[in-house]
Amino acid sequence: MSVTLDDLEKCYEKIKISFPKTKKCSVYACKNPRDMVEMSTECSTCAYHRLLFDWWSCDVYAGDLIRLTQKGRRRLFSVWMRKMGKGKCDKIVLKMATDKINWVC
């Protein structure tokens, strides 16, 4: 099953309708609603940034994430994301979203 960015947008619309008081993604300048995961608990980021962070933290970052502060993790992730560029980040997110364990809408 292939997933597109339009599928993510549809999911965001569902969240906005089902949970109108959902906060915005915590990533700077992102206006998407926060992702909803199992049992309707709210994440701090949208589905796009959650999937991208999961990939980065498992496949890219070689250091010890637990030892970093939240601010430190966010800074390293943001720098990496800017270096990658939107096109490459989109491909990573879409690849991650095809696996149902990572994302279902």
Q: Which pTM value belongs to this model?
A: 0.82
Domain count, the chain: 1
105 within a domain of the structure (yes/no): no
Whether 32 contacts 12, CB under 8 Å: yes
39 pLDDT exceeds 60? no
Q: Which domain holds residue 39?
A: 5-97
104 within a domain of the structure (yes/no): no
Residue 3 pLDDT: 82
CB crowding 32-70: b at 16 or more within 10 Å, else e:
bbbbbeeeeeeeebbbbbbbbbebbeeeebeeeeeeeee
Per the prediction, the chain carries an average pLDDT of 85
Residue 1 pLDDT: 60
74 within a domain of the structure (yes/no): yes
25 pLDDT exceeds 80? yes
Residue 35 pLDDT: 85
